[in-house]
Amino acid sequence: MAIRFVSLMGGVEKSAKLSKEIRMHVRQEIGPVFQPDVIQFADALPKTRSGKIMRRILKAIASDTEIGNITTLADPSVVDVLLEERKKMDVEVG
């Protein structure tokens, strides 16, 4: 299952409609093979102190595997929030 994490800009509300629009936009602009199955909205993404997104952590959350070392994160609590949201999605989906 392909999951994409989306951090919205201020004032934009997350919704099922927006999720569908994002999925369709990816399908039309990049191609059907890249269309994500699920959009997970996130208030923040795991970033290092220098501001780089930790894609390794996002992959681990999406694939439900070991997160590993998070000591280099600027805000480690972001991981807990993403994991909790992911668990909610699993319950809703199936």
Mean pLDDT by 10 residues, the chain (94 residues): 90 94 96 94 95 96 94 96 88 59
CATH of the domain at 86: 3.30.300.30
Q: What is the pLDDT of residue 10?
A: 87
Closest CA to 84 of 50, 41, 54, 51: 41
Number of domains, the chain = 1
- What's the domain range around 20? 3-93
Contacts of 50 (CB under 8 A, 6+ apart): none
- Location of structure tokens 């000591």: 71
CA distance 72 to 15: 32
- The verdict on pTM exceeding 0.75 is yes
Please report the pLDDT score of residue 31 as a whole number: 96
pLDDT value at position 92?
Answer: 63
